[in-house]
Structure 1
Amino acid sequence: MTNRTRIAAAAVLVFASAGSIYGETITGRVVNQSGKSMHGVMVSAFDKGHRKIVSVFTQADGSYVIDGLRAVKHNLRARLMGQQDEWQDNVKAGSSDIRFRMKPATGDDLQDQRPASSGFSMLKFDNLRDKLNFKMMCSYCHQVGTVGFRSPEKPVDWETMLRRMDGFGGL
């Protein structure tokens, strides 16, 4: 046996044994309130011991398979924009048929899911140059559309903010 063959055989053994260390799976299905399968839901397994998160997306039939997990308990979360997060805690690796029933998010819970950029498209500008200038000078730093920007401010607060931005060279 040549050195090359020995090294190749050793490498195969190392990789084969490493695969069995993190070879556990968790499987299940995600449905909506009426029991209909939900496609595209992100299901995440949280491994607190290693501070690691593994995420997958559900298939058209609502099924998911999270593989490559350590043989420990995980907290699972199902998440989709427009829906409330659903949790299953202390799920053993190797478990199957872990089901989530999603419920629509409403009110503040729904508003909090909006990405910061969602408000930018609602702003009206007289010309493209002003729009691009605002985008470059303001929205690269400020998360236009977040709750803070959607909340009314008092004139004194605006004066303070504008003075501060002017000091930073943003005006």
Structure 2
Amino acid sequence: MRLLEVPKELEEILKVLEAVGARAYLIGARALLMYGAITRTTKDIDLMITVEDLKTLRDTLTKELRKRGFMVQWRSWGLLVKSKRGLEVDLNTPMLLLDEEFQGRARRVYRNLYLPSLEDLIVTKLMSLERKDYSDIKEVFKFADKIDFDYLCRRVQQANLEREFNRIAKRIGVPTC
């Protein structure tokens, strides 16, 4: 696993999240880059955060981040946060799979920043399933020997994503669920 360089702006965002008791889970391409599972670059950082309620997300985080000079836009999935130097961070509201098992399998990489398991990252990609996500999933399965298929299939079934997963799995020649 590659170490993550934490830009100053991200460190500042993590401090704000820490102050409200939130954990951040690195998802998306940056997380897969840490595993060495993909090689494509990405312009933004995607985080899934734990918040007690959406009012905290909307009010407190928006206020604190803007006070620190960030531009904050509300989106259907959470907050888009931009720094003056151009760093973009997507703060996604908790997905349904953010449960005790997800949290227990994640590894702390910096302060309150965690890296989910490879299996849980596959499920987050399946939830979105844009063209780049399909491509990323294909790349991840080059590491099939490191994937816990029993856990992955259970999570895929819990999310009701079996059809999507099995279609991809058949195309790339990995076990189906």
Normalising TM by the smaller chain, what interval? under 0.3
TM-score when normalising by structure 2? 0.24
User: Which structure is larger by alpha-carbon Rg, 1 or 2?
Assistant: 1
TM-score when normalising by structure 1? 0.24
Normalized per residue, the structure richer in helix is: 2
